[in-house]
Amino acid sequence: MSDPFVIVGGDAAGMSAASKAKREDPDREVIVLERGEWVSYGACGLPYYVKGEIDDLEDLVAIPAERFREERDIDLRTGHEVTAIDPEARTVTVSPTDGEPYQESYDDLLIATGARALDPPIEGRDHEGVFSLQTMDAGREIRAFVESTDDLDSVAVVGGGYVGIEMAEAFDAHDLDVSLFEMREHVLPPFGPSVGDRVAAELRDNGVTVHTDTRVERIAGDDRVTGIETEDETHDADAVLLAAGVEPRTELASEAGIEIGPTGAIATDADGHTSHDGIYAAGDCTEATHTVTGDPAHVPLALTANRAGRAIGSTVGGDPIPVGEIAGTAVLKAFDLAAGRTGVIDEERAREAGFDPASVTITAPSRAHYYPGGDDIEITLLGDRESGRVLGASMVGTEGVAKRLDTVATALHEDLTAQELSYLDLSYAPPFSPTWDPVLTAGKVLASTLE
Amino acid sequence: MSDPFVIVGGDAAGMSAASKAKREDPDREVIVLERGEWVSYGACGLPYYVKGEIDDLEDLVAIPAERFREERDIDLRTGHEVTAIDPEARTVTVSPTDGEPYQESYDDLLIATGARALDPPIEGRDHEGVFSLQTMDAGREIRAFVESTDDLDSVAVVGGGYVGIEMAEAFDAHDLDVSLFEMREHVLPPFGPSVGDRVAAELRDNGVTVHTDTRVERIAGDDRVTGIETEDETHDADAVLLAAGVEPRTELASEAGIEIGPTGAIATDADGHTSHDGIYAAGDCTEATHTVTGDPAHVPLALTANRAGRAIGSTVGGDPIPVGEIAGTAVLKAFDLAAGRTGVIDEERAREAGFDPASVTITAPSRAHYYPGGDDIEITLLGDRESGRVLGASMVGTEGVAKRLDTVATALHEDLTAQELSYLDLSYAPPFSPTWDPVLTAGKVLASTLE
């Protein structure tokens, strides 16, 4: 019998790989080494837990550790940190919370170490009342703080990405005065300016103060936080959430000599293989191939991690599956609004990738013009003049945004032209769409612009 | 200057063609001959007009006749019936409601004569209180009848297709006892049995009596309808809606010697050309190529008509666009439920088309498992064992069904395998989807079934 399949990290990518490998090859020994206590959890649900829409932190766990151990026969070791990889000896050094370090041999190894919240070098970040939404325990701590601190009136959120926006809504639900600070010109930079501005307007309509183009210089306070200092002003704040983005955890890999890619995440091939024989990487620590540009991209999102983990588990288990390309498809809810993006939507980025881009923005109703309810959807489509291809889309609206993105994501996967996109046979009934779905309308307008 | 582009029929296909031809070639003379008075109307909205959700019948009109005439410079002649085509002389015979018949020359001709409601040979169909939802005027008549008939208690709907189901909901909204009769084993035959059964259950939950496998033999009554007679029973009914489906209006074409295809609708090529030079056909009177089977199919739906009309208008105007293939994508609302289908979902039909089919049915939540609200979506996917291709899908649920169909419709257009479908980078956020969207989950399960 071969040496085990060893997995470093027990969240989405790691546990997907473990489960799939066991299904494909039940006799194979699968060991998961997770330094924390939580496994297979939906960190994406943390803002809704803090908001209070989800009662129990355990509800975010997709599958409890016992079930992996008992039902799936996976040797899942929580409280076991991997501190080194020796690719020559095919061993990892394991440091248990309770116990002596030891070596574990592997035949195949998966690095699924995830990402960490960026720790911006802001003075005062150690004050009491400053948080980041790094972990499940951090989520619990923030909710407890919000629910138990009597004199809590105001919260400052530093960073206008997904987490910042979702957490602004979460804090707002606790009747706190929420201010959000984004250093770039608009919130949600990867979604483009028109979606960013629309989301900022939605936040403001719901009472959140939004500061764009504003760099936070210092967190004021002595022991406990009292405010946020920007270049020009000081804003009161009884608590601060740092949500400046994430970076891949690559130290373990790079110290073992495993190649790091141009994005700063671990480089992998189409099968999730790293530069070293028998060593795979998946999830937020890893690059993936962008389906539009063909270049490596680092988009640390849940589906990418789940897909790649599952594919590597299948490959290791004897049924090779590629990890799949990514389109950078993302969507988020901001109060009543949904905002999403897929592919390449930035013209400069498209030019860098060798395209000759042109974009159109249309507004179309989510239902037939005569059918009550519904709302306008704004769609921006980017295309390539030379090939006629669709390169990406952003969308924003209160109804039917998230799954309309999927049509474009599928089209991107297949290199559809704007004309082809506009002639797809999409679903229509008055309560769900105009006859020409907004995606088709956007495709028509883009096709004539690219001509 | 060439002879005009003449269009027979002023609804979706005809007016789309007229508008697009004028945009492409503003100097071209475009004549639309419409025998009725309504043009460019959304017949799909009629059930919601009868229901009372839409106040005014005129609201269903996308663009009023005057705007076509004044803003788009289209010679739109309502009340002008075309009674014959002479392909040799390139003329049509026009019979105006007020005036003498005359000949009109054409250089290009578009036949967009639509479909008519099937007139089942049921005794008693001429009784007062028996309707079909053939036209805008019929919609007005039904609503007036429902709103003004004092002793109206019960309505029988004959036919469990889209129109029958949407009209059952419409009558129910007027507090009528509604019975629906479908002669086949389940309602919505093209949606498959599991969706049909689910829709029937939804109708029953809302107080509609549903009879499947039941043939209506006779409509009882003397002058006015009093009931429905089936093989075994008589059911009281103060009104009857006949909704037994539609058939293409092909007489004008077939009398001119234009080829009728295997489905009974007018045969056309990829550009919408009929068997005769300079004569096009589009919309409900026409076949189209099915994207999965490659065979001609007759799916009389609004988007197909709009797309083909627009493409032919563009082609005639000098910028050729193919009319596009169809996947038979369809969706409908039945009370709180949405039900949809795309592609080939019937195993026997798939075998006839040369596939070796297998199907899977999954149930998955429309949102993350921990996120409140949402509902299960049931998806049935059909695939081909030999190629691994996805052949079709049906879906049913209360949330997020319609636009999830579009992902599969797009995949069908590009001949995606189940494995490829399952690894698309689709949108995910807890309020909108589980990490693996139900479509991806269905793809995964189908992929392993096809292996």
**A235-252: per-residue pLDDT in tens?**
999 999 999 999 999 999
Q: How would DSSP label each residue in A138-205?
A: HHHHHHHHHHH-TT--EEEEE--SHHHHHHHHHHHTTT-EEEEE-SSSSSSGGG-HHHHHHHHHHHHH
What ipTM was assigned to the predicted interfaces of this complex?
Answer: 0.97
Backbone angles phi, psi at A69, to 5 degrees: -75, -50
- Residues B215 and B252 grouped into a single domain: no
B304 interaction partners in chain A (CB closer than 8 Å): 425
Question: What is the pLDDT tens value at each position of chain A, 451 positions in all?
Answer: 568 999 999 999 999 999 999 999 999 999 999 999 999 988 899 999 999 999 999 999 989 999 999 999 999 999 999 999 999 999 999 999 999 999 999 999 999 999 999 988 899 999 999 999 989 999 999 999 999 998 999 999 999 999 999 999 999 999 999 999 999 999 999 999 999 999 999 999 999 999 999 999 999 999 999 999 998 899 999 999 999 999 999 999 999 999 999 999 999 999 999 999 999 999 999 999 999 999 999 999 999 999 999 999 999 999 999 999 999 999 999 999 999 999 999 999 999 999 999 999 999 999 999 999 999 999 999 999 999 999 999 999 999 999 999 999 999 999 999 999 999 999 999 999 999 999 999 999 999 999 8
In a domain, A19, yes or no: yes
CATH number of the domain bearing residue A353: 3.50.50.60
Sheet with A30-34, edge to edge strand ranges: A75-78, A30-34, A5-8, A108-111, A279-281
What is the C-alpha to C-alpha distance for residues B65 and B366, in angstroms, rounded to an integer?
Answer: 42
B44 is catalytic: yes
A311 interaction partners in chain B (CB closer than 8 Å): 423
Does the structure show a pLDDT above 60 at B153?
yes
- Residues B73 and B160 grouped into a single domain: no
The amino acid that residue B407 corresponds to is: T
- Residues A211 and A271 grouped into a single domain: no
**Mutate which of A23, A304, A310, A370 to test chain B, going by most B C-beta atoms within 10 A?**
A370
In a domain, B385, yes or no: yes
Domain boundary among A244, A273, A293: A244
DSSP structure class, residue A45:
G
- Residues B196 and B256 grouped into a single domain: no
Please report how many Cα atoms fall inside a 13 Å half-sphere around the Cα of residue B291, on the Cβ side.
28
- Cβ contact B406:A426 at 8 Å: yes
Residue showing tokens 């690219």: A450
- Residues B32 and B180 grouped into a single domain: no
In a domain, A33, yes or no: yes
- Residues A236 and A254 grouped into a single domain: no
What is the C-alpha to C-alpha distance for residues B179 and B235, in angstroms, rounded to an integer?
Answer: 9
CA end-to-end span of chain B: 61
State how far the alpha carbon of A230 is from the alpha carbons of A156, A189, B32, B260, in Å.
Answer: 12, 20, 65, 74
Residues, chain B: 451
Q: What percent of chain B has pLDDT over 90?
A: 95
Q: For strand B390-397 and strand A5-8, is the pairing parallel, antiparallel, or unpaired?
A: unpaired
Domain boundary among A219, A244, A269: A244
Q: How would DSSP label each residue in A322-334?
A: ----B---EEEEE
Domain boundary among A244, A278, A296: A244
What mean pLDDT comes out for the span B408-417?
A: 98
**Mutate which of A403, A413, A416, A420 to test chain B, going by most B C-beta atoms within 10 A?**
A403
Tokens of B85: 């085509």
Neighbours of B347 (CB within 10 A): 16
SS3 B136: helix
In a domain, B54, yes or no: yes
Q: What residues pair up with B103 in beta bridges, in sequence order?
A: B93
Q: What pLDDT does residue A134 have?
A: 83
Number of domains in chain B: 3
- Residues B28 and B77 grouped into a single domain: yes
- Residues B110 and B79 grouped into a single domain: yes
What is the C-alpha to C-alpha distance for residues A247 and A265, in angstroms, rounded to an integer?
Answer: 8
- Residues A344 and A419 grouped into a single domain: yes
Residues of A acting as catalytic residues: 44
- Residues B11 and B154 grouped into a single domain: no
- Residues B231 and B263 grouped into a single domain: no
In a domain, A26, yes or no: yes
Residue of A115, A166, A162 lying closest to A142 (CA atoms) = A166
Q: What residues pair up with A211 in beta bridges, in sequence order?
A: A181
What is the C-alpha to C-alpha distance for residues B442 and B435, in angstroms, rounded to an integer?
Answer: 13
Of B303, B333, B370, the CB nearest to A45: B370
Q: pLDDT, tens digit, for every residue of B187-207?
A: 999 999 999 999 999 999 999
DSSP structure class, residue A4:
P
Domain range for A105:
5-116+247-316
State how far the alpha carbon of B10 is from the alpha carbons of B68, B269, B271, in Å.
Answer: 11, 22, 20
Q: What pLDDT does residue A2 have?
A: 67
In a domain, A322, yes or no: no
DSSP structure class, residue A312:
H
Q: What pLDDT does residue A449 have?
A: 97
What is the C-alpha to C-alpha distance for residues B23 and B33, in angstroms, rounded to an integer?
Answer: 19
In a domain, B125, yes or no: no
Does the structure show a pLDDT above 60 at B71?
yes
Which of A375-397 are b and which e, b meaning 16 or more Cβ less than 10 Å from the residue's Cβ?
eebbbbbbbbeeebbbbbbbbbb
In a domain, A276, yes or no: yes
Q: Which residue of A has its CA nearest to B55?
A: A370
Q: What pLDDT does residue B42 have?
A: 82
What is the C-alpha to C-alpha distance for residues B288 and B280, in angstroms, rounded to an integer?
Answer: 12
B23, B36, B42, B44: the active-site residue: B44
What mean pLDDT comes out for the span B418-422?
A: 98
Tell me the shortest Cα–Cα distance from A202 to chain B, in angstroms: 17
- Residues B231 and B135 grouped into a single domain: yes
A403 interaction partners in chain B (CB closer than 8 Å): 400, 403-404, 406-407, 427, 432-433, 437
Q: pLDDT, tens digit, for every residue of B6-44?
A: 999 999 999 999 999 999 999 999 999 999 999 998 889
What is the C-alpha to C-alpha distance for residues B63 and B425, in angstroms, rounded to an integer?
Answer: 38
